[in-house]
């Protein structure tokens, strides 16, 4: 199946997709879901790294204040 054929099919059309079309549609949806999940995981990891760095900084400031007393 060509990309043009796949892109020309719409799930809202009156004709049923062929098994080949349905397989290609599902494969594309799966790949897109995997990609967006990887991107979301990476954003979460980066956000957690920032939160941990901020937490370490705050605790280090508190420890430094205690040592100054």
pLDDT digits (tens, 9 = 90+) for 2-59: 777 766 766 666 778 889 888 988 999 999 999 999 999 999 999 999 999 999 999 9
Give me the residue spans of the domains in the chain.
17-68
- E-strand ranges in 1-69 read none
| Contact status, residue 18 vs residue 9, Cβ threshold 8 Å | no
pTM for the model stands at 0.63
The alpha carbon dihedral of 28, 18, 9, 14 has a sign of negative
Query: What pLDDT shows up at residue 60?
Result: 97
| Contact status, residue 25 vs residue 12, Cβ threshold 8 Å | no
Query: What pLDDT shows up at residue 15?
Result: 76
């Amino acid at each position: 199946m060509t990309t043009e054929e796949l892109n020309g099919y719409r799930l809202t059309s009156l004709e049923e997709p062929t098994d080949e079309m349905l397989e290609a549609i599902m494969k594309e949806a799966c790949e897109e879901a995997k990609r967006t999940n990887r991107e979301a995981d990476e954003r979460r990891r980066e956000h957690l790294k920032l939160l941990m760095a901020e937490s370490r900084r705050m605790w280090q400031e508190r420890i430094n204040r205690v040592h100054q007393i």
